[in-house]
Amino acid sequence: MATTIEKKIDRALNILDRWFGFRNVRGHTFYSKSLYPKSTVLDLGANLGAFSQHIASKYKCNTYLVEASPALFAQINETALVHKYNYAITGKDGFVTFYESSRIDAGNIVAPNSKSTGNTFEVKARSIASLIAEIGLETIDLLKIDIEGAEIELFDNIGDEDLKHFKQITIEFHDSVTIPNVSPKDVNRVIKKLHSMGFYGIAMGKKNFDWLFWNTKEIRLPSLAKFYLSVRKQLTKSTT
């Protein structure tokens, strides 16, 4: 359990995050000062759509939600700014097996987990390049990824040209949960790939659950914000 000091640090960081423009919605942190009306958000692993619906409501962004679970997808409400697609995101187009979980938000396309019901579905799969082409997107101001372990295959197959579409990326990695074939080594490989493509990344939460990356050519953080993040990184390390 968190100590009193750790709780105080977390509260202080939450206040400072907001002051510098970093917002956390449904466990995903992004740099809000780069979002404007008509910005484009791509939400992979949308669940019930709460993340994108908040973004669309607050920032008036165009949001494109992708959800593999048939049960979750059916409950997502579309609006003029919220558009939904029933796909699994993988390394290539085709069909994949979706493993249902007793926790509606924990189904995945990697392998059955400890809460699997035993039910499976075949769902359409799209590579991220194919999805971007289908929707007709040029620049994505914010990419959110929470796809229950499939993030590793996504990044192992994504091309350098595809990464240039994104200004910032918020990712939940799944090396800390009981889904097979996701390891800290896999996560480190993805992080190194993003760094090599000009993205700066920082863990905004514990256990790799909330990573924020931004394209340094597209988003230029103020010097004070950069300094804050460097201090924040050290404080977070000291409490883990």
- Within 13 Å of residue 216, how many CA atoms lie on the same side as its CB? 11
Task: State yes or no: pLDDT of 2 exceeds 70.
Answer: no
The pLDDT, as a whole number, for residue 180 is: 62
Average pLDDT, integer, range 157-180: 88
* Tens digit of each residue's pLDDT (9 = 90 or more) over 61-119: 999 999 999 889 999 999 999 999 999 999 899 999 988 888 877 788 887 776 777 78
The pLDDT, as a whole number, for residue 179 is: 66
- Among residues 110, 157, 151, the alpha carbon closest in space to that of 130 is found at 157
DSSP string of 100-131, one letter each residue: EESSTT--BSS---TTEEEEEEEEEEE-HHHH
Q: How far is CA 229 from the centre of its chain?
A: 19
Give dist(CA 186, CA 94) in Å, integer. 24
Average pLDDT, integer, range 19-34: 97
Residue 216, number of CB atoms within 10 A of its CB: 12
> What's the fold here for domain 4-87+139-238?
Rossmann fold (3.40.50)
Average pLDDT, integer, range 203-223: 94
Average pLDDT, integer, range 49-64: 97
Q: What is the Rg, in whole angstroms, of the alpha carbon atoms belonging to the chain? A: 17
Residue 9 pLDDT grade (very low, low, confident, very high; cuts 50, 70, 90): confident
Give dist(CA 81, CA 149) in Å, integer. 28
Mean of pLDDT over the chain: 91
99 within 8 A of 148, measured Cβ to Cβ? no
* Tens digit of each residue's pLDDT (9 = 90 or more) over 110-155: 877 767 777 888 999 999 999 999 999 999 999 999 998 899 999 9
Residue 47, number of CB atoms within 10 A of its CB: 19
Q: How far is CA 153 from the centre of its chain?
A: 14
